[in-house]
Structure 1
């Protein structure tokens, strides 16, 4: 089992899940896309991932907003409505008999190319839509004991060449950052922005707690996290000071608590950064308070 914020409990049912590809369903081992697909050739695609709890597509409107915005930014025409996509997702859940603790990934690429090339004019098909739904429940080790981070030399880029808020298939720099962290013996990577301030992690958003205040980056150089936004909302609604500001590793090393946020893991405590311990083992009191608020927010979504 891989330790980190995406650590999941083993589930044998995932071996037989059916995958949605452009309106058809395929067994896992037979689910394939052409090697001429734009996403495979040049990372030309966008994606979205979300959770399903008790039959509810949690925060689905926020995720669809982000998917449609990402597709618009890169100029991929979406040939279906939001309602039609939700219908495709629901069919995928139904055919797999899925109701609870489900992770869904929706991937949309520009389509098939006539020949290997960056040029979008050489696309000879409509966009390719793939939906993968799996039984996934967060593993107890990372959730309860926390994860360690290592500060990568790979920086989060400036919005003028690849906006970090774009959920695109081009994730090579995050992979490089994670490899550095793994080679250093950590679970995941902490990434700085182009000015040297703390930005985000390779796959999650970063928060720290100092003297009762919650700090996170300005948002200019970090992922446009749905869970990040919900955490900021929870703090605001519960009287917890949450500052979106510039801060450096000097501040991080002196944090009382730290945690990262993501769609799959929710809130995961951080217990060590660059070999330096942060707080006690596991989630600190403010992290636990916010995590409870997040779980309550999910329950409100289910009831609504």
Structure 2
């Protein structure tokens, strides 16, 4: 336990630069006295840790000191950082790097730990390809060489030339300034700017990509989480969105919330059903969502949506009304 704590202490100082004994104690969930004893043990073992006194003082490592896991290359280390989801690593084109990196990690373990870890790993299954109903969970795929070119341009800060097939449009070549990559429910998006305007591209629709030598026009630092939230908000309030006034069985309220862009203005009718407004991406999205809810929902407006759902139901009833 103490050996693990000493390693964690060194890694904390590596990551944060300087930390007080109180901050280290809080991170390691031990007393400040224990932290001071650990600092002495590290110094005795030759780790160049020193103390800085004063209001903003604390403990730090000498500049240039670093630790590394021997043998991990850049892509393998990157794969381990995004390995919270196996699909996440695969989505960014790092599946093979993840497997290679994990083999090196296992090889670096003491023999008794290696055996224990291998046995435990056999009892964990993450993100199987099908659910309990044998429905295949299909993730979007893209050629590894294309994903690699996109990823390298993002990290290097170079302009990127992509052959992109937008919905209902012929593929076109365009040059963009890449900002970052985001994966959402097995969909991967490239956040970029083009001629200074924000653009978001789905990776599965990029047919080819070429990293260019010119530097990208972008800030040195980015808050990718905030950037994604801002673009998502603009997406929800723009385009050909459709607002539907509807009634729904309360048991399906959560299902609707995971499908619609927004759900608001809840009221309860006399029969217990909810009357609300839901916003969808476009007409096709609205019709699909209401159809999935079947008799557990009723579109009240707009009238074209009621007509479309009625016509579809009539056609199906006609098809199955006759003998095969």
- What interval of TM-score do these two structures reach, taking the shorter chain for normalisation? under 0.3
Q: Which has the larger radius of gyration?
A: 2
Q: Which has the higher contact order (CA 8 A, sep 6+)?
A: 1
Task: Calculate the TM-score normalised by the size of structure 2.
Answer: 0.21
